Amino acid sequence: MLHYAVVFFVIALIAALFGFGGIAAGAAGIAKLLFILFAVLAIASFLFGLIRK
């Protein structure tokens, strides 16, 4: 999931470089959403790992 967040971030950077503001904003929004989802799942996994032991 973190890989897809980085991919969308790179797409956003390239789109912004070429002047496609709408596409860049959309890709950046998707990248932000995926990163937040990754962070929440990583923290949940860490906490559940601590609880199991």
Maximum CA extent, the chain: 51
Report field, pTM of the whole predicted structure over 0.75: yes
User: In the structure encoding, which two tokens stand for residue 35, read together?
Assistant: 């990163």
User: Is 31 in contact with 8 (CB distance < 8 Å)?
Assistant: yes
**What is the Cα–Cα distance from 24 to 53, expressed in whole angstroms?**
44
User: Is 16 in contact with 24 (CB distance < 8 Å)?
Assistant: yes
| Domain chopping of the chain, boundaries | 2-52
Q: What is the pLDDT along the chain (53 residues), one digit of tens a residue?
A: 789 989 999 999 999 999 998 989 999 999 999 999 999 999 999 999 999 87
